[in-house]
Amino acid sequence: MNANNPVVTFAARNRWLADIMGWVAMLFRVAEHGIGPIVDLAIRLWLAQIFFVSGVVKIANWENALNLARFEYPVTWIDPVAAAYLGIATELIGAILLAVGLVTRFAALSMLLLALVIQFNYRALDAHLFWVLLFGWYVVRGAGPVSLDHLFSRGLVASALPLAAPIMGLLKNLTRYVGPAYQLSIRLWLLTIVWAFSVAASNILLPTHSAGVLQPAFGSIAIALIVLGLGTRVVAMTLLALMLATQMSDLRSSQDIYWIMLLAILALYGAGALSLDHFIDRSLRRIFPQLDGKPAFSLVGLPHVVIVGAGFGGLACANKLARTPVRITLIDRHNYHLFQPLLYQVATTALSPGDIATPVRGLFRDQFNTRVLFGNVTAIDSARQLVLMGEQSIPYDYLVLATGAAHSYFGKDEWTTFAPGLKRVEDATEVRRRLLTAFERAEAAEDPEDRKSLLTFLIVGGGPTGVELAGAIAELAHLGMEKEFRSFDPASARVILVQAGERLLPTFAPMLSARTQQSLEKLGVEVLVNSRVENIDAFGVQVSGKRIAARTVLWAAGVVASPAAKWLGVDSDNAGRVKVAADLCVPGLNNVFAIGDTAVCNAWHGQPVPGLAPAAKQGGRYVARLIRVRIAGKVSPGPFKYRHLGSLATIGRKAAVADFGFIKISGSLAWWLWGSIHLGFLVGVRNRISVMFDWFWAYLTFRGGARLITGSLERVSAQKPTPQHTHPEEVPA
């Protein structure tokens, strides 16, 4: 695509116009593909029930049916008895086929012919003309997606049935070539109706008796626009709304519903190919190819932006650069984006991993300038501007590091085996396995002390993850497993939360920390503050000089940044985070940026930016904006400033705390707020709906998801604790 092309230049300089038109086009597509199938089904069912009821009535009174065939609407070229049988069969069989959308075109054709016979040989009514119009629509276009025809179409084309493929091809061409002419005929028919009504003319081919319903809504300008096919959808939607507002409460006849159906068809499907709308649409798509799903600009020779990490920050940066003339390569060691704040619910069986993880490739299916790579970054050669993935090297012009963080055991990495944390899907499923295995082994345990240690769950760390995990485990034991075990009561499980500081949730207001502790204690959680973990092994934990026999220990105490600082050879803080400048670039490397948990930046009123999802997203959007203005040669947007949107943590099924600085909320209201915000942060409509349903079900039934134990059972020892693992000063229950 030539950058000197004036059409391309216009499109590049007026991307805002393309954005507006893109949104309008998207709304039309949503209406056609989302509402259209429902309207299509409703019209089919409406027509089907009319004919089906008529057929049933005639069967119930066969003599009356014969009299109608002989005297009311006789067909000279068919015997009356045969005509009666044929009419009833058409009404019953055709209605059923039309309703389910099976061989819809042929069913509609037979019913169309019957409607013509009724109109010309029996009684001329406006409704009959609309029947003909709507049946003709289905003959030309077929049934919509909610039909058996749509379900079977692909299989029929590829089947061994004789003539199946040619017939399907013929029907497809019928829609393609005859459809636009039929849509034009509808618009011209509408013009003729309005003209005939205005001069009080009557014609058997025009529904002028019911056309008065159009008078309050239609004007000469609206009719002209529809006939010309100019802004047809918008005009039809407007007129439909006006008609519904003025007529729905007082429909003068049942025939008014057909005018509503006609306007709905025009609003949903437009004027067709023989219209000014189609001509304008084709012209706009040539100027703005992105409207047609094509690349808006050539990627050849454009700056290359490499983003490492598909977390909140990486996705926000890539999305913000969607319409910027750059090439984007997004690298992640997983093929999915993970919503980490809800990992604890996967670990406690409330959700499945698929509810909070979304494949990255699917997110960028329609973003043509973004390439997704699955792999591990092993090093960065900043001198040659290369990202290294083993033996593969990827050059960059701009590099964005959004690699997140991992667990930090403060130099005690040997604890990793005994106290898993929650940062990955694998971590959540491992924690779930350990939790459920503990209950299962407690059922089989014969030694009371062994069972007691199996039913003791200790969480290290009193931040949001630790608080949420402790509350969820307590609820799982007290509410989710009653009557499922015979040797013990699951509610006897002991949940201990250990916090080294003087209070839980140290980043929250002290009042909320106190309420959090009270709520946890009401759930049966033992909270140990000012307590330090000194050792962890397979059978317990040493906490401030006291031994606690706990076979399940979970880590939520600290994190360490990815090795990004080591890759670049630059300064980092104690947590391994890259020390970045005010514009989030790495000092000495003004084309390399670090965001989210990868970086430390005092952009929160002089304080370090917290490791929260909103902070990562803000950083990603800021870097994208900075790259965009640098490419355009414009003035820098200034230093990055973090806008704190608040902190939230949930405590069980009906309590949470929310700290927005000037507003502090706790209890049920905070719980609803927490749920709403987390649903909004989830990526993908399917995930939002799935999580909302799971929460609703669990809330009403006290039952979570399937409690499946997966993985090797040998990874957690089933041995009883030996004397060397016990301590006489165990913390009392």
Catalytic residues: 468
- Look at residues 667, 661, 631 and name the one whose alpha carbon lies nearest to residue 643: 661
DSSP strand pairing (599-600 vs 405-407): unpaired
Contacts 24+ apart (CB under 8 A), 163-169: none
If you write DSSP's letter for every residue of 391-409 in order, what string do you get? Answer: TEEEE-SEEEE---EEE--
State both tokens at 274. 């023989």
Round to whole Å and give the CA distance between 471 and 19.
Answer: 45
Q: CB of 187 within 8 A of CB of 227?
A: yes
Beta bridge partners of 399: 306, 592
The tokens 């013990």 sit on which residue? 488
Half-sphere exposure of 425 (CA within 13 A, CB side): 15
| Contacts for 590 with CB less than 8 Å, ≥ 6 apart | none
Under 8 Å CB-to-CB from 62, ≥6 apart: which residues? 84
The answer to whether the CB of 598 falls within 8 A of the CB of 401 is: yes
E strand spans, 333-460: 336-338, 357-359, 370-374, 379-381, 386-389, 392-395, 398-401, 405-407, 456-460
In degrees rounded to 5, what are phi and psi of residue 528?
Answer: -115, 105
Give whole-number Cα distances, 461 to 458, 521, 553, in Å. 10, 16, 11
Distance from chain centroid for Cα 461: 33
Q: Which of 306, 332, 355, 344 is nearest to 683 (CA)?
A: 355
Residues 6+ apart with CB under 8 A from 139: 105, 108, 109, 112
Distance (Å, whole) CA 555 – CA 355: 23
Q: Which two tokens stand for residue 355?
A: 């509810």
